[in-house]
Amino acid sequence: MYKDDFVRQLNTKGGDRHQNVLQLDFTLIFILFALCMTGLFVLYSASEQSLYYVKRQATFMLIGFAGMLIVAQFPVRFWERWASLFYGSALIALVAVLFFGIEAKGATRWLNLGFSRFQPSEMAKIAVPMMVSAYLSRRIIPPKLKHVAGALLIVAIPAFLIIQQPDLGTSILVFASGFFVLFLAGLRKRYVAGAFIGSLAAAPLLWIYVMRDYQKQRVLTLLSPEDDKFGAGWNIIQSTTAIGSGGLSGKGWTEGTQSQLNFLPESHTDFIIAVLAEEFGLLGVIGLCGIYLLLIGYCMMIAKNAQSQFAQLLAASTSLTFFIYMFVNMSMVSGLLPVVGVPLPLVSYGGSAIVTLFFGFGILMAISSEPKRIGTWR
Partner 1 sequence: MKYDNAISDPRKDQNIFNMRVLASTFILLGLTSVILFRYYDLQINRHLDYVTNSNKNRIHIRTVAPTRGLIFDRKGQLVADNKPSFTLNIIPESTEDLDALIAQLNGFLSISKKDLARFSKRVKRSNRFDPVPLKYNLTEQERAILAVNRHILAGTEVSAQLLRHYPQRELLTHTLGYVGRINDREIRKINPEQYRGTDFIGKIGLEKHYEHMLLGEVGKEQVETDARGRVMRVIGKKDPVAGKDLTLHIDSELQRVAIDALKGERGALVAIDVKTGGVLSMVSTPSYDPNLFTSGISQKQYDKLIQSPDRPLFNRALRGQYPPGSTVKPLFGLIGLQYDIFDMDYTISDPGYFFMEGIKRPWRDHNSDQGGHGNGVDLAEAIIESCDVFFYTIGVKMGIDLLSEQSAKFGLGGITGIDLPGEKYGIMPSKDWKKNKRRQGWFDGDTINMSIGQGFMLTTPLQLAVMSARIASRGVPLIPQLVKSINGKEVKPQLADTIIDYDDQYWDYVHQSMVDVVHSKKGTARGISKGLSYKLAGKTGTAQVISINEKEKYDSSKIAKNKWDHALFVAFAPADNPQIALGLIVENGEHGSRTAAPIARKVIDSYLSSYNTTPELPVTSVTTSEGI
3-state secondary structure of 226: helix
Q: Tell me how many residues contact partner 1 (CB under 8 A).
A: 50
Is residue 22 near partner 1 by the rule CB under 8 A? no
Site string for partner 1, 51-90 (x = CB under 8 A): ----------------------------------------
CB of 21 to partner 1, least distance (A): 31
- Cα torsion 116, 121, 124, 129: sign: negative
Cβ closer to partner 1: 119 or 309?
309
Cβ closer to partner 1: 116 or 376?
376
Closest-CA residue to 378 (of 301, 303, 302, 312): 312
Q: How many Cα atoms within 13 Å fall on the side-chain side of residue 202?
A: 9
Which of residues 36, 330, 346, 364 is near partner 1 by CB under 8 A? 330
Q: Name the strand (E) or helix (H) holding 108.
A: strand 107-112
Eight-state DSSP code of residue 337: S
Is residue 378 near partner 1 by the rule CB under 8 A? yes
- Interactions with partner 1, residue window 178-237 (CB under 8 A): 180, 183-186
Burial (CB count <10 Å: 0-12, 13-18, 19+), residue 58: middle
Strands of the sheet with 117-118, listed across from one edge: 102-104, 107-112, 117-118
CB of 120 to partner 1, least distance (A): 28
Which of residues 35, 93, 316, 353 is near partner 1 by CB under 8 A? 316
CB of 318 to partner 1, least distance (A): 12
Whether the CB-CB separation of 345 and 325 falls below 8 Å is answered with: yes
Is residue 253 near partner 1 by the rule CB under 8 A? no
Q: Name the strand (E) or helix (H) holding 378.
A: none
d(CA 220, CA 222): 5
Is residue 277 near partner 1 by the rule CB under 8 A? yes
- Interactions with partner 1, residue window 111-170 (CB under 8 A): 140-142
CB of 365 to partner 1, least distance (A): 19
- Interactions with partner 1, residue window 335-364 (CB under 8 A): 335-336
Which of residues 129, 225, 281, 338 is near partner 1 by CB under 8 A? 281
CB of 187 to partner 1, least distance (A): 9
Cβ closer to partner 1: 109 or 147?
147
Is residue 254 near partner 1 by the rule CB under 8 A? no
- Interactions with partner 1, residue window 284-313 (CB under 8 A): 285-286, 289, 293, 296-297, 300, 303-304, 309, 312-313
Query: Buried b vs exposed e over 61-100: b needs ≥16 C-beta within 10 Å?
Result: beebbebbbebbbbbbbbbbbbbeebbeebbebbeebeee
User: Which residues are CB-neighbours of 136 under 8 A, at least 6 positions away?
Assistant: 143, 147, 151, 181, 182, 185, 309, 313
Whether the CB-CB separation of 303 and 315 falls below 8 Å is answered with: yes
Q: How many helices (DSSP H) and strands (DSSP E) are in the chain?
A: 14, 3
Which of residues 69, 240, 287, 294 is near partner 1 by CB under 8 A? 240
Interacting residues toward partner 1 by CB under 8 A: 140-142, 180, 183-186, 238, 240-248, 257-258, 261-263, 277, 281-282, 285-286, 289, 293, 296-297, 300, 303-304, 309, 312-313, 316, 320, 323, 327, 330-331, 334-336, 376-378
